[in-house]
Structure 1
Amino acid sequence: MNQTPPVTVVVVDDHAIFRTGLKADLDADRIQVLGEAADVDSAIAAIRQHRPAVVLLDVHLPGGRGGGGAEVAAACHDLAPEVRFLAISVSDAAEDVVGVIRAGARGYLTKTASGAEVSDAVQRVAAGDAVFSPRLAGFVLDAFGTAAVAVQDDELDLLSERELEVMRLIARGYTYKEAAKQLFISVRTVETHVSHVLRKLQLSNRHELSRWAGERGLL
């Protein structure tokens, strides 16, 4: 009988004790931990190095530009759907849940979840499901009941996949150089994409672009 290979994960949390406990509690027959990280920058590096199926991602992390887990998910947006994110946090605040989901996470658990529950959630997220506790799912429905409609904007259809990637980074405040490094393209290519985006959306500058993206829940 062929055995299903374990789902590969990277564990991201700034508390070493929690990382150690979580790794010990995960079902070793179903989950294989490839690496771990304690801050935004090391998390992005570890995810790009290991390319896990799922990242177990704490919401509040030091480093980077101060965006925590949401910043990590957003910075690795280009790896989707190969890499999926499952947030796990002590916080069950609506703003934390919605923020990291907007950035690309496929699910959200609180740290009261058992090792078996986290293992099940990892497998479900790896398979493409979205996983939330009932209370947290309510936050997501409340937030995205209108946002989902807003994202289905005819103007988005005007942009290529690469233009969307560049647009999100620039709208979040990345410089052209930072966006180029993030996407592994030249600064000139970023400038060209931004020019095309502004022309297609009939916007004048990056400040208008940030406002446009924010109104559509794209940041």
Structure 2
Amino acid sequence: MSDPTETNGTAGTETAGDAGKRHVRVVLVDDHRMFRTGVQAEIGRTEETGVEVVGEAADVDQAVTVITTTRPEVVLLDVHLPGGGGVEVLRRCAALMADPERPTRFLALSVSDAAEDVIGVIRGGARGYVTKTITGADLVDSIYRVQEGDAVFSPRLAGFVLDAFASTDAPPVDEDLDRLTQREREVLRLIARGYAYKEIAKQLFISIKTVESHVSAVLRKLQLSNRHELTRWATARRLV
């Protein structure tokens, strides 16, 4: 969360004094504890940012429980979570998002910049999507914008959403891709990008054996024979 090139175009419009007058209650949902700790340290300085982190969760069930209990104004939501992913959290929290008096709004915060991930959570009801290269200052600004009802996207990702919702002839669901779990999709993309199993295991914080199991499941579900066919399949769907 330190890349200065990541911006939503409006950071810096509030002074430190202005930030101190604002307040927003936030829940962090991400299955990597170290990442949650880092985000908490970056944005959770309440006296400085006005952001109060009122809960954390590492999977779908935990997320739904924490969100419904604390009723935050904004949820920072990872796309890939055990138990069904961010889309499942959005589905189960739909009533909270629709509450006219006290809506809970969702901002996706993910390492993924894949079009299907972005479009999936936006269709699910999220108000925005930023990647984990975003700076702390821009993330705080994005949280407040989402709280106020704005839609917020990292610059490159906005095009995915515009294209998806402008297109009337594109199929809404890829049946083959829909057979895969969120984690299998993540492994699929990394394989297609040329990552070795060891590199994938390190990036996703899982064992090499687990990576091998996911690859086998992907090949079986897609009826492919090897990683070369898998790469061609992913490239044809612009997942790489």
Secondary structure of the structure 2 residue equivalent to 1:88: strand
- What percent of counterpart residues are identical? 61
Question: 2:96 maps to which residue?
Answer: 79
**1:166-214 superposed Cα distances (whole Å, 9 cap, x missing partner):** xxxxxxxxxxxxxxxxxxxxxxxxxxxxxxxxxxxxxxxxxxxxxxxxx
Question: 1:8 maps to which residue?
Answer: 25
Question: 1:102 maps to which residue?
Answer: 123
Matched residues in 2 for 1:107 and 1:75: separation? 18
Matched residues in 2 for 1:105 and 1:48: separation? 16
Q: With structure 1 as the length reference, what TM-score do the two structures score?
A: 0.63
Pair 1:60-2:49 in alignment: no
Q: What's the Cα RMSD here?
A: 1.7
Matched residues in 1 for 2:163 and 2:50: separation? 33
Question: 1:39 maps to which residue?
Answer: 59
Matched residues in 1 for 2:71 and 2:21: separation? 19
Matched residues in 1 for 2:87 and 2:70: separation? 19
How far apart are 1:5 and its partner, in Å?
A: 4.1
Matched residues in 2 for 1:7 and 1:75: separation? 22
Structure-to-structure mapping, 1:137-156, within 5 angstroms: 137-146=158-167
Question: 1:132 maps to which residue?
Answer: 153
Unaligned runs of 5+ in 2: 1-16, 169-240
The one-letter amino acid of 1:59's match is: V
Question: 1:70 maps to which residue?
Answer: 87
Secondary structure of the structure 1 residue equivalent to 2:113: coil
Q: With structure 2 as the length reference, what TM-score do the two structures score?
A: 0.57
Matched residues in 1 for 2:134 and 2:109: separation? 9
Among 74, 77, 92, the alignment partner of 2:113 is 92
How far apart are 1:74 and its partner, in Å?
A: 1.5
How far apart are 1:146 and its partner, in Å?
A: 3.5
Give the number of aligned pairs.
Answer: 144
